[in-house]
Amino acid sequence: MLISEALELATDKFSAAGVLSPSVDAELLGCFILEATRSELTLLAISNELFPENKLADFLEAVQRREKREPLQHITGLAPFRHLELKVGPGVFIPRPETEQLVDLAIQKIEAIQNPVIVDLCSGSGAIAIALNTEVAGSIVYSVELSQDAFSFLTQNYQRYGLDPKAIRNENLTTALEELESGVDLVVSNPPYIPDAAVPIDLEVKLHDPAIALYGGQDGLGVIRLISARAWFLLRPGGHLVLEHAHTQAPAIGELLLTQGWQDVVSASDLTGKDRMISAVRP
Ligand SMILES: C[S@@+](CC[C@H](N)C(=O)[O-])C[C@H]1O[C@@H](n2cnc3c(N)ncnc32)[C@H](O)[C@@H]1O
């Protein structure tokens, strides 16, 4: 079978299975199995190269898994995030492109601070924490993650980027990092925020992202309330809180933060113009 034919076959199967980006996923799986970049794969495909015999079975098996709506990142074991490539798999939330903008907002808040102390609550794979750690010179970044499965990926990703394993905690955010009381410059989080009854439609999310990473109680704001209290404890006066949330939640979270005494509560929009982030300052 030609490489171009294998890619076409995969694209057709993915389209029929309802995968959102069938041809891109076919190409990315091709790249993964053939250990090629996308431009190398394109060149091989338009040059009418044969799919190597010894790799075709692996490709077809990967296609079958993706056809069943297993996330691409679980098949490759890796997820891109900003300049990072993070290890992911069953039990950990796959970092999303929109969270890359949360990191931009977090960086803006601490631009003027020398050697900022940062806490990422609900770290998952460590996407936010590791991005900040590697992009903000002199920063000291702590990560808190409750799930043991997710914590195992967090540990692997900290190792992968040569970061200090003493800065990660497998703990509930409600009690974590007691020793940092009032000493933190920035608390950032992409918490679980989906209301329990609003089960996502995408099968990749519904079947493969862990429930603890998705759901935030009846109104979706349960974990955000806990974060507000813990961030208040951790931050120094003038320290910043930066959160991601669903596009419908900005008014409710704004009110929640103002009621709890936060100042400078400001919503921020994502690239599509939807309010998906909020920031506040500890008085
Ligand atoms: C939406 S995921 C975000 C993961 C990561 N920050 C990212 O953006 O890719 C939320 C994470 O919060 C963790 N989590 C949920 N409740 C928690 C709690 N009470 N304390 C610490 N972590 C918690 C989940 O296990 C999950 O890994």
pLDDT tens digits for 63-89? Answer: 999 999 999 999 999 999 999 999 999
Shortest-distance atom of ligand 1 to CA 94: 9
pLDDT digits 0-9 by tens, 78-125: 999 999 999 999 999 999 999 999 999 999 999 999 999 999 999 999
Instruction: Say whether both 25 and 137 belong to one domain.
Output: no
Q: How far does residue 7's CA lie from ligand 1's centre (Å)?
A: 35
Tally helices (H) and strands (E) across the chain.
Answer: 12, 9
Contact 256, 221 (CB under 8 A): yes
Instruction: Say whether both 145 and 39 belong to one domain.
Output: no
Shortest-distance atom of ligand 1 to CA 92: 27
Instruction: Say whether both 136 and 249 belong to one domain.
Output: yes
State the total domains in the chain: 2
Question: Nearest residue CA, atom 6 of ligand 1?
Answer: 123
Cβ burial, residue 139 (10 Å; 0-12/13-18/19+): buried
The CATH number of the domain holding residue 231 is 3.40.50.150
pLDDT of residue 239: 98
Alpha carbon distance, N-terminus to C-terminus of the chain: 65
Q: Which pTM was predicted?
A: 0.95
Phi, psi torsion values for 240, nearest 5 degrees: -105, 140
Helix (H/G/I), strand (E/B), else coil: 190: coil
Does the beta carbon of 139 sit less than 6 angstroms from any atom of ligand 1?
no
Q: How far does residue 65's CA lie from ligand 1's centre (Å)?
A: 26
Question: Nearest residue CA, atom 14 of ligand 1?
Answer: 122
Rounded Cα distance between 212 and 217, Å, is 10
Instruction: Say whether both 154 and 272 belong to one domain.
Output: yes
Does the beta carbon of 191 sit less than 6 angstroms from any atom of ligand 1?
yes
Does the beta carbon of 94 sit less than 6 angstroms from any atom of ligand 1?
no
Contact 182, 234 (CB under 8 A): yes
Kindly give, in sequence order, each residue whose CB lies less than 8 Å from that of residue 154, ignoring residues fewer than 6 positions away. 92, 123, 124, 125, 126, 143, 145, 168
Helix (H/G/I), strand (E/B), else coil: 75: helix
Give the domain extent around 120. 82-281
pLDDT of residue 14: 98
